[in-house]
Amino acid sequence: MVSHSPASPPSRAAILEILDSVKDPEVPVLSVRELGIVRDVEVDDAGAVTVTVTPTYSGCPAIQAIEDDILAALATAGVADARVVTSYAPAWTTDWIEADARAKLKAYGIAPPRPAEHGGLVQLLRARTAPPCPYCDSRDTEIRSEFGPTACKSVCWCRSCGQPFEEFKAF
Amino acid sequence: MTAPSVLPPPPPAPHDELELLLRLGDDRLVLGHRLSEWCGHAPILEEDIALANVALDLLGQATMLLRRAGEVEGKGRDEDALAYWREAVEFRNCLLVEQPNGDFAFTMARQFLFDVYAVVTLDAVSRSTNAELAAIAAKALKEAKYHVRHSGEWMLKLGDGTDESHRRVQGALDELWRFTPELFAADDVAARLAAEGIGPDLPALRAHWHELVHDVVERATLTLPHESSHTPHLNGGRAGMHSEHLGHLLAEMQIVARSHPGAKW
């Protein structure tokens, strides 16, 4: 945790470092920066901080908790003059999750997202292949349910090691 | 069904953009609430979770749209005030989404018809000259695309499933078809919005919608109801003329907020 003296305005880099400590409440292995939720940070001349975030899914119930967590982390680090604003464009995509964050997801037992599709409006009967098992790397897996316990994940099953696992859906 | 089949003379529209936001937002608020009624009652656990997920997406989209509606209106109403404190006549959703859930086939047929409507309209609105609206539509479109994959695959499973599932989903299509012309009816508000490049050109989108629906219905071994055979088209939702079902839905949705104004937990 970076602590910040109220006497001098915080640097943008210091704010970003603080945001690295804020984890997603539903995927606590990733920070809100690693998930791509934090889109911008501005520090004005008076030291007021504006953090721009974008929601993952429209109805993601975690977004309010994430905003509260960001403000709490900044306050704990001595940055009291801060606000969070929401931006919808460009729309969030799992393609923003970087390679090291994907490795963390896999180590946590969640198959990382594959590249998002940007094609046509209605894509039916395109049997989606199941992701490799994050535990044993087997490809002998199946998708049990496209919808999982959170909006961002589907539920899969590994036939090789018998382990159920979640997949972070490409979106 | 008591909804009138003829629109009354359009009331003066003080704010076309507000109307559009309410129409888009209320479709999603009402359908999201309908889907949430399945929570704990769906035929299998995976489907219970799926319907709740889709409901949550729709409520999230409604939140974005109604929040923006409140800003555009400029009377200090936020998305909660618009959801919980308007009467049925102030709701602008289409009649399709307020129809009761019926059985699972009925819910899925209703969802499929709406999901295809959502992708074609959101795709158009994502190119709106209104940047705020375009951003919300582009975000919602990504979700609508996987919603239609879900409901479309259920149309195939049910239509091309057992005699019983086929009979039920065909019956649902036959029952719901009369609510679909309303989706593409352009009143003066919609026509002005389309001319200004803000809203979708609804009549022009109908052919694409019909083509996408027909493709799935045919593969599901189902039959689209004949245009000539259905009962008179039902509309009026965009002008606040709703079926009796909306009042019951709102009574349940609004009672806690109205009984305990400003309650927090």
Is the pLDDT score of A162 beyond 90?
yes
CATH number at residue B230: 1.20.1260.10
Using a CB–CB cut-off of 8 Å, the residues of A that contact B are 55, 57-61, 87-92, 121-125, 144-149, 151, 155, 171
Q: What is the pLDDT of residue B165?
A: 98
Q: Indicate if the pLDDT at residue B230 is higher than 60.
A: no
Residue B87 belongs to a domain: yes
Q: Are B128 and B199 in contact (CB under 8 A)?
A: yes
Going by their DSSP bridges, the two strands A49-53 and A82-86 should be labelled as parallel
Q: What pLDDT is attached to residue B226?
A: 79
The pLDDT mean for chain A works out to 90
Per residue in A74-124, pLDDT (tens digit) is: 999 999 999 999 999 999 999 999 999 999 999 999 999 999 887 777 766
Nearest to B50 among A89, A147, A171 (CB): A147
- Report yes or no on B3 lying in a domain: no
Asked if residue B7 is part of any domain, the answer here is: no
Please give the residue of chain B at the shortest CA–CA distance from A120. B145
Query: Which residues is A31 bridged to in the sheet?
Result: A23
CB contact under 8 A, B212 and A125: no
pLDDT tens readout for residues B9-47: 444 445 999 999 999 999 999 999 999 999 999 999 999
A12-86: which CATH topology?
GMP Synthetase; Chain A, domain 3 (3.30.300)
Within a domain: B5: no
Least CB-CB distance to B56: which of A59, A124, A145?
Answer: A59
The domain containing residue B33 runs over which residues? 16-259
- For chain B, the residues whose C-beta falls within 8 A of a C-beta of chain A are 46, 49-50, 53-61, 63-64, 116, 119-120, 123, 131, 134-136, 138-140, 142-143, 145-146, 148-150, 152-153, 156, 212, 216, 219
Residue A170 clears pLDDT 70, i.e. is over it:
yes
Contact B139 A146 (CB under 8 A): no
Helices and strands per DSSP (H, E), number in chain B: 11, 0
DSSP letter string over A80-106? -SEEEEE--SSPP-GGGS-HHHHHHHH
pLDDT of B4 > 90? The answer is no
Provide the pLDDT for residue B12: 41
Identify the pLDDT of residue B11.
44
Query: Chain A partners of B53 at a C-beta cutoff of 8 Å?
Result: 147, 151
Contacts of A91 in chain B (CB under 8 A): 135, 138-139, 142
**% of chain A surpassing 70 pLDDT:** 92
Query: Does residue A5 surpass a pLDDT of 70?
Result: no
Whether B111 maps to a domain, the answer reads yes
Tens digits of per-residue pLDDT, B59-105? Answer: 999 999 999 999 999 999 999 999 999 999 999 999 999 999 999 99
